[in-house]
Amino acid sequence: MKCCGCGVKLQSIDKSLPGFIESSILSSLGEESYCSRCYNIIHYGKHFDPILSNKDYYNKIDIIKDTKSIILLIVDVLNIESSFIPNMDKHIGNNPVIICVNKIDILPKDVHLHNIEQYIRHLSSINNINLSSVVMMSSLKNKNIDLVLNKIEKLKSKISLSNKEVIDTYVLGCASTGKSTFINTVKKMYSQSKTMLTTSSQYQTTLDFIKVPYLDKEFLIDTPGFINYSSYGAYLSYESQEILSPKSYIKPRTYQLNSDQTIFLGGLARVDFFEGEKINVSFYVSNKLYLHRTKTLNATDCYSKNVKTLLMPPINDIELEKINNFKEEIYNISNSSDLFISGLGFIHITGINIKIKVYVAKDIKISLIDTII
């Protein structure tokens, strides 16, 4: 029997191992049982480190390539590139993929969803994904969830060899993109079950496959979250994740800058604007993330004195040690562009002959693209 919250196999022998539950509780609740870990996350807000390695993750999803299935890939709209699972195509075969761009409810109206879709299609081609369609949605606000399910059913009708054939739908995604929230929303819409999948801002609440019925003989299969180490979330604590993960509508913060000015995004990223005219920058990041402007001449000293206090995250020495090896990237910007920093969001940049230098932790993905605004 599996935990209804995370999918791990339940056991009553060893409290230190995943899936522990008191035998009396398991006997009483049966298939509606939560393991001790899920119970503590749901009721006490406790935080746990990820259990599955990415090698374990690939081993689990590798079975999909030998099935006839539909894949839902959940993508975080503020973390687009790092929401794509590296080498996913090798483990899902040629099964069709519906990409669900989640959390669109937090975007300001000046962001053009059509431009995001075009960017998603470009990334899908690079990642060898057999893309069926792209849907803009919000799991939390129940926006376009019906449209996603509609596309699943239409795709199944094309694939099925007979009316009796059942084709499963696997829900894949990196940690914290909103996979389990999506499935919980579907359960509320179509299922009588009172049990919900465990959700949290911490990474990897789902530990194994969870098969969730939502219509007659129809299932969604939740999967563990892949931890993408090109995104800041893989290195930060639950408390820092709470700062970086927007829960409500983003209010862009805009600056008119001169050359030789610097803006810090907490203590996680530094952007130096050392050439350019009429520089305008707007930050599409969590409202809780502190932005600090200073002269580039003073930036190094400012960071040394204020990291973990004014400039946070990081919030402690453990986090700082994980991200303290910074790299530098230089970009020349002549057109209106967006700079995505994985795990933070993006910066909209306009002006004339702009040259910037970006400092981030060495493994963090940075992408400069034509604007989606």
pLDDT at 294 over 60: yes
- Residue 170, CA atoms < 13 Å, CB-side half-sphere: 25
Per DSSP, the residues of 54-112 read HHHHHHHHGGGGGS--EEEEEEETTS-GGGSPTTTHHHHTT--EEEEEE-GGGS-TTS-
Residue pair 221/211 in contact (Cβ under 8 Å)? The answer is yes
In three-state secondary structure terms, 206 is: coil
pLDDT at 200 over 60: no
Q: Mean per-residue pLDDT for 108-116?
A: 93
pLDDT at 8 over 70: yes
Task: For residue 199, give every residue at least 6 positions away whose Cβ sits within 8 Å of its Cβ, in sequence order, or none.
Answer: 180, 181, 184, 205
% of the chain with per-residue pLDDT over 90: 65
Tell me: the pLDDT tens digits for 135-172?
999 999 999 999 999 999 999 888 775 555 668 899 99
Out of 19-23, 100-104, 107-111, least confident range? 19-23
Sort strands 326-333 and 345-361 into parallel, antiparallel or unpaired: antiparallel
Q: What is the CA radius of gyration of the chain?
A: 22
Rounded to two decimals, the pTM is 0.87
What pLDDT score does 27 carry? 85
What is the rounded end-to-end Cα distance, in angstroms, of the chain?
A: 48
The per-residue b/e assignment along 275-312, b for 16 or more CB within 10 angstroms, e otherwise, is bbeebebbbbbbeebbebebebeebeebbeebbeeebb
Sign (positive/negative) of CA torsion 239, 244, 245, 249?
A: positive
Q: Enter the tokens of residue 244.
A: 């970086």
Beta bridge partners of 328: 359
pLDDT at 206 over 80: no
The residue among 303, 234, 305 whose CA lies nearest residue 272 is: 303
pLDDT at 343 over 70: yes
86 upstream amide cis, omega within 30 of 0: no
**Greater confidence, 292 or 29?**
292
The residue among 348, 356, 368 whose CA lies nearest residue 275 is: 356
Residue pair 290/270 in contact (Cβ under 8 Å)? The answer is no
What pLDDT score does 204 carry? 61
Average predicted confidence (pLDDT) for the chain: 90
